[in-house]
Amino acid sequence: MGAKPFVSTIAPGVRLCASQTDRFKTGCISFTMALPLEGDIAANAVLPYILYRSCRKYPDFSCLNGVLADLYGATLSAGVSKLGEAQVLSVELTSIDDRFALEGESISQSCAELLLDLIFDPDLDEDSRFREEAVQREKRLLIERMESELNDKRVFALRRCVEVMCADEKYGLSRYGTHEDIKTLTGERVLNAWQNMLKTAVIQIDMAGSGASENIADALRKQFLPIERNPAVIETVFIKTTKEPRNVEEKLPVKQGKLVLGFRTGTLDASDNASAFKVMTDIFGGGTYSKLFANVREKMSLCYYCSARLTRHKGVIFVQSGIESEQALPATDAILDQLDAVKAGKFEEEDIKASKMSMTDHLRSIEDSPEDLIAWYASQIFESELKTPERESQLINAVTKDEVTAAANRVTLDTIYMLSGTGEAQTDEV
Amino acid sequence: MKFREIRNVALNESYHEIIHASGLTILVMPKVGYSSAYAVFAAKYGSIDTRIALADGGFADIPEGTAHFLEHKLFESEELDAFERFAKTGASANAYTSFDRTGYLFSCTENFKESLGILLDFVQKPYFTQETVEKEQGIIGQEIKMYKDVAEWEVLFNLLRALYHVSPVRIDIAGTEESIAQISAEMLYSCYNSFYNLNNMVLAVSGNATVQDVLEVADRLLKPQDGVMAKREFVLEPPEPATAYIEEKLSVNAPQFMLGYKEHISTPERTTEERLSTGILLDIIAGKSSPLYKRLLEAELINTSFSFEYFEGFGYACPMFGGESKNPEAVATEIKNEIRKLKVDKVDEKSFERTRRKLYGRMIMMYNDVDGLANELAATFFTGNGLFDDLEGCKAITLDTINNRLDEILDEAGAALSVILPV
């Protein structure tokens, strides 16, 4: 346990990170591909979804899903996310370990081959473009996926706060592109995006399971051999502080209001005092021992949830809470009071200890889940040296109280976003 | 004390069942090579338990949402509350209330025995005052409001209200703002005394822990108790739904739907074979490799949010299909047609074997997850099953079982459609 993964460079900007272990019942393999959050964002965003739905060998998605069922219900997933001002595309395949195959076949081998087919050998038409019908389907699904963010008001309010706060930065853009850009997508634009991704994306392939990584490393090298790699340089702009906090209120017919406070950490880059900021954010609004939980929820009964999250790749912290719409002011004051308390060092050694214990506990448990382990390493796609969860624990444990207050004192409020109710929602039973 | 080890050779896994002198059943599944341990201390007391047994043999109604309210309040004590105590061990603690049980849990990678001691101690030491009960009404009021805005949640509970006439599965787990306003400290004590009896509870542990670790703590903190497992009342439901259609308007981007087929049951709980064969059938009907899924997707009637499940528990059983659609009625018609057709054509050998293999794989995948395993141990204990029953049952199922099951369930006379429309 806690062993370093085997890391191997496959091509410029492409590396394989394999954690070999037999303690899991499954094997898991994922492709993470990072691009600058610019250019044809919509075409990039549709890529993981169009790639995971078919390939030249299995052009029909029903047939592909039949193959996955035959592989003992292997699960295939795709996603798009933001990591700082990078657009990160991912495709992941999980299957049961070979030792549970009923006829002694190699499931892991078949799964690895299938994943390579999906990424490198898509189902193209006679003009070597993505098929119009597939593009049409994925356009609709992507637009619906994007618009469905409205359904979860917690997610929606956070997205709106990011859009308002970072309106003049790339980070304010949707990871899916605009509605208009998705609507006008063509097979040709998707093809360009696919070729561009293979040439320029920073790519990490992560594996966790009992399978040996040599075969997959060889197969990957073969796939990348004909590709002229020119990996993109991805940079994120860090805004140190804002002069005057913005205050935005929007209304929707909801029963509970959602308050989001956006802060700038004042950091210069993702690694600037990273551990101190992690501990500080946790003391402020992490677990049930945090300032926000203990005071805003437990003491003041203002909400069911109130928590803070650090996005160190952009140098921002967001505090989220679900409250009565008319409680926006007292809740904002209560949250800011708690931040002031952390800035003033009004917390005990015991509070730091609780945070560190909880954080290192989570870190150790990463090793117990193949999905978590893969996500842990995939999130380090831009780091030259991969950190084990154990190494991260050591860094967390080394943080001092002074470092925590120093970090807190660099934090400034940027945006107060409030999603309020209109009092119009109703139930009609027919 | 009685000890028993239950093994599964194919999985190379085993767990221990201990009937402790105190009356509590303890289930422990050590996992080699794991750092984390997860423990859940659960009572057979959920939102469907809306009546409390009285000393004279009768029953009294309790307000909706009491089990969930009690779950929140049990964390409090006269001195340090449970969260503050867990903060000293590094464990992350939580609790949940479902339809049929309340579970108090923690996960940790260090100080397991210390955390288990806190868990067993605080769950056995209720401390309710009128003042703290009133304070909690504010927090839970916000929790209830939060769920009222979540379309996925509303579409499900509206469907349950449409399908069921009397079964308490139709009420919200957290109750309503009105119902929780009726809860008092005294009422919480009497519910606690009725349901939080070691004979009506289970302790399930999985991961980096040994039987010895668990027993050391249990022997110290559990005192023998009289009492039995609480009895539930099984109420027969009429075969038809209360209403075949229900809708609500919420702030959503597109309509959400859920179609349910109430199963007409004459016994409260489903057998392993019934559950597994229904799961296989639903996957054959609407899974991602099914013709129906492809047709609905290509007709732009569903998107990737489409899903289905066999929703069942004490006194209720209901296959459900749901998701987002611009035309829920059209989806419902397509699903109904497909089921009608399959009832005539029957399931063929190839789809059956493929789906069974998929189910087998998915069950094996479950054995990675320490949290899931402990919860599953608790759940199977309360239903009187064993953890490995599903995997063994999956091997035993035949095509005939599947087709016989198809004849029994998915009767349109019991169907209802729940729809959430954009405001």
Q: Read off the CATH number of the domain in which A312 is found.
A: 3.30.830.10
Give per-residue burial for B172-199: e unless 16+ CB within 10 Å, then b. Answer: bbbbeeebbeebebebbeebbebbbbbe
- What the block records as the tokens of B47 is 């939102």
Residue A251: closest C-alpha in chain B = B251
**A188 against B230, higher pLDDT:** A188
- Among A224, A258, A283, which residue terminates a domain? A224
Check whether residue A199 and residue A258 sit in a common domain.
no
Work out the pLDDT band at A430, boundaries 50, 70, 90. very low
Tell me the chain B residues in contact with residue A419 when contact means C-beta distances shorter than 8 Å: none
Q: Other C-beta atoms within 10 Å of B402: how many?
A: 21
Contact A387, A396 (CB under 8 A): no
Model pLDDT, residue B226 = 82
The answer as to whether A234 is a domain residue is no
Q: Which of A224, A255, A280 is the last residue of a domain?
A: A224
- Distance (Å, rounded) from C-alpha A427 to C-alpha B176? 15
Q: Is the pLDDT of residue A227 over 50?
A: yes
Q: How many angstroms away from the CA of A304 is the closest CA of chain B?
A: 5
Catalytic residue list of B: 71
CATH fold of the domain at B2-221: Cytochrome Bc1 Complex; Chain A, domain 1 (3.30.830)
* Cβ-based contacts of A48 with chain B (< 8 Å): none
- Letter for the amino acid at A34? A
Rounded to an integer, the average pLDDT of B223-239 is 87
On the question of pLDDT at B316 being above 60, the answer is: yes
- Same domain? For A107 and A216 the reply is yes
Rounded to an integer, the average pLDDT of A101-114 is: 92
ipTM of the complex: 0.91
Instruction: Find residue B316's DSSP bridge partners.
Output: B313
At residue B57, the pLDDT reads 76
Q: Is A292 found in the same domain as A406?
A: yes
Instruction: Give the residue-averaged pLDDT of B115-129.
Output: 96
* Mean pLDDT calculated for residue range B229-258: 94
DSSP letter string, B104-139: EEEEESS-HHHHHHHHHHHHT-----HHHHHHHHHH
Q: Which pLDDT band holds residue A209 (cuts at 50, 70, 90)? A: very high
Write out the residue limits of the CATH 3.30.830.10 domain(s) in chain B. 2-221, 245-422
Residues A272-330 have pLDDT tens digits of 999 999 999 999 999 888 999 989 888 888 888 899 999 999 999 999 999 989 999 99
The CATH number of the structural domain formed by B245-422 is 3.30.830.10
Instruction: Please tell me if residue B266 touches chain A, with a CB cutoff of 8 Å.
Output: no
**Among B365, B373, B394, B421, which would you mutate to test the A interface (most chain A Cβ atoms within 10 Å of its Cβ)?**
B365
pLDDT > 70: percent of chain A: 98
Residue A305 shares a structural domain with residue A353: yes
Question: What's the rounded Cα separation, in Å, for the pair B300 and B287?
Answer: 17
CA–CA dist A17, A374 (Å, integer): 9
Question: Do A192 and A283 fall into the same domain?
Answer: no
Examine the pLDDT at A426 and tell me if it is beyond 60.
no
Cβ-nearest to A141 among B247, B289, B304: B304
| Strand residues in A53-132 grouped as ranges (E) | 75-83, 86-96
Whether B304 and A145 lie within 8 Å, measured CB to CB: yes
Q: Same structural domain for residues A218 and A333?
A: no
Average per-residue pLDDT in chain A?
Answer: 94
pLDDT at residue A243, rounded to an integer: 81
The answer to whether residue A359 scores a pLDDT higher than 80 is yes
Q: How many domains does chain A have?
A: 2
Residue A238 domain-assigned (yes or no): no
pLDDT tens figures, A34-49: 999 999 999 999 999 9
Cβ atoms A339, A382 nearer than 8 A: no
Specify the DSSP class assigned to residue A370: H
Average pLDDT of span A181-205: 97
Host domain of residue A289: 246-421
Candidates A137, A150, A289; nearest CB to B251: A150
Residue A430 lies in a domain: no
What is the pairing mode between strands A14-20 and A202-209? Answer: parallel
Task: Show which of residues 84-103 on chain B sit within 8 Å of chain A, judged by CB atoms.
Answer: 84, 86-93
Q: Are residues A204 and A289 in the same domain?
A: no
Task: Decide if B368 and A304 are in contact by the 8 Å CB cutoff.
Answer: no
Please check whether residues A187 and A322 belong to one and the same domain. Answer: no
Last residue of a domain, one of A189, A224, A259: A224
Residue A14 lies in a domain: yes
Q: Which of A268, A279, A277 is nearest to A362 (CA)?
A: A279
Instruction: Tell me: do A28 and A112 sit in the same domain.
Output: yes
Percent of chain A with pLDDT over 90: 88
Residue A10 domain flag: yes
Residue A2 pLDDT grade (very low, low, confident, very high; cuts 50, 70, 90): low
CA distances from B101 to B242, B313, B314 (A): 26, 11, 11
Q: DSSP labels for B337-406?
A: HHHHHHHHH---HHHHHHHHHHHHHHHHHHTT-HHHHHHHHHHHHHHT--TTHHHHHHHH--HHHHHHHH
- Rounded to whole angstroms, the Cα distance separating A128 from A125 reads 5
Could you tell me if A283 and A187 lie in one domain?
A: no
> For residue A412, what are the β-bridge partners?
A264
Residues 184-223 of A with CB under 8 A from B: none
Q: Judge whether A346 lies within some domain.
A: yes
Contact state of B249 with A288 under an 8 Å Cβ cutoff:
no
